[in-house]
Amino acid sequence: MKRVLIVGAGMTGSLCAALLRKVSGTLYLAVWDKAGDSGAEVYLRHCVTQINLRNGKWEVFKETGSPEQFDLVVLTIPVPQILQLQGDFANLISECQRQQLESVSYSSRYALGLFYEAGTKIDVPWAGQYITSNPCIRFVSIDNKKRNIESSEIGPSLVIHTTVPFGVTHLEHSIKDVQELILQQLENILPGLPQPVAIKCQKWRHSQVTSGPAKCPGQMTLHLKPFLMCGGDGFTQSNFDGCITSALCLLEALKNHI
């Protein structure tokens, strides 16, 4: 039984895993990431650090625990994280492939979540709103209203996305300082908001792809024997359709090797 590893449980990785399971039920299929549910064996908090070639298989190391061997590896993590992988991987990809991967660039943002007690009212007539006149905040949504899951038993939540320029400027600042800046700007947009019971500020270093590699739409094959490839929205476009397109391209390329 061939062992297949998909690194990254985002939209592309999860869909690729689900499609692989449908076309071949005889594979051992694992997905390594922080989170995900794709019908495969999903392992959380598995951060891949290096990939080595051992006796015709890929030996994959993670931050904790012992390395494991796989016959095929599919990388769907952001391209800059692919380029950071250590081991034989760094020497096995060609200079041309490396240059193509290095040509991929991403925008950066922050997201802020405000969580409220059940029964709290946020008195605005909309579920989501794009903000065009603020240097910090680009989008605000009442997330439970946007998802149509309003309930008297669950408190509302507010989600704020920053602008790209703000994200780039403050990318290496402390989360605490960035959170305070966003909250100050939010007060200008929605004055008098209720006090949240919890706040979560998240750095989104690789938000959306601003430019991708040429001549490899959907995926890039990095090594043939054993098979190693990469995909994701970095090889198409940063939206739902782009992720699906990449997953289908990955599946098509994998069919000849499973």
Measure the CA angle with vertex 168, ends 165 and 172; round to 5°.
145
Using a pLDDT cut of 70, give the percent of the chain over it.
97
Of 20, 219, 229, 234, residue with least CA distance to 106: 234
Query: pTM (2 decimals)?
Result: 0.80
| Per-residue pLDDT, 151 | 75
| Per-residue pLDDT, 46 | 84
Say if residues 144 and 154 touch (Cβ distance below 8 Å): yes
List the beta bridge partners of residue 161. Answer: 111, 139
**pLDDT tens digit string along 11-70?**
999 999 999 999 887 889 999 986 544 446 677 678 899 999 999 999 999 988 899 999
Q: Compute how many other C-beta atoms are within 10 angstroms of the C-beta atom of residue 12.
A: 30
Give every CB contact of residue 61 below 8 A, 6+ residues apart in sequence: 48, 49, 50, 51, 52, 67, 87
